[in-house]
Amino acid sequence: MSYSWVCWDVHGVTEIPTFGKTMEVLRGFRPISDETAAEYRKLGDDYAKGAATPEVFWSRVAHDFGPYAMERARKYFLRIDPNRALWRAMPDLKKKYFMGIVSDSPGEKTVMIKNFLEERNPRTLDKNANLFDDVFFSSDYGVTKTDGGLYKVVLEKYGGDPSRFLVVDDSKANIEEAANLGMGTHLYRDVDSLLDALMPNRLTKKGIVG
């Protein structure tokens, strides 16, 4: 399949912290039942699209797990920790594809990501933002990828054949929503397999692969 657009997830793909790992931090303080996990998936979705304020979300965490656990989880999630191996490849990928960020991100984290995008890429000395043709954050649109809503925003803006878009995400649920809309998908697990898919003739230390 030939793709012209790559839609990048942030949490778990272009950067390390994820909401799921944030819950693992909390799980280290007390067990989380299936019922509680389901409640937090819903609350996390509301937090990401702005239906629940940061104060509401983190107050609930402090109530359920204690203030110290809340601070540890908040410190883990509200930081920028780039996937440096992937970012090193971004300038080469930009030569081949249109690229956009499509991220479920609460407003307070979206601000941090946008500030990072204003920083200079060490390879190009240009702003990181210039590697992307567009950005779509759930907190800006009031919808998430959970039910395909944020993907629909992308498709409505750019139109055309959805199969020309490749969604790169570490969430199976998000991948399924994108596939249901006819978009191409890559379930992210590591940089090398992703780059092999996007740049099959790329040079590596072992020579040409693909």
d(CA 29, CA 175): 30
**Residuewise pLDDT in 10s, the chain (210 residues):** 689 999 999 999 999 999 999 999 999 999 999 999 999 999 999 999 999 999 999 999 999 999 999 999 999 999 999 999 999 999 999 999 999 999 999 999 999 999 999 998 777 768 899 999 999 999 999 999 998 999 999 999 998 899 999 999 999 999 999 999 999 999 999 999 999 999 887 655 443 333
Residue ranges per structural domain of the chain:
5-15+82-208, 19-77
Task: Classify domain 5-15+82-208 at the CATH superfamily level.
Answer: HAD superfamily/HAD-like (3.40.50.1000)
Amino acid at 21: K
Beta bridge partners of 82: 15
**Number of helices (H) and strands (E), helices first, in the chain?**
10, 7
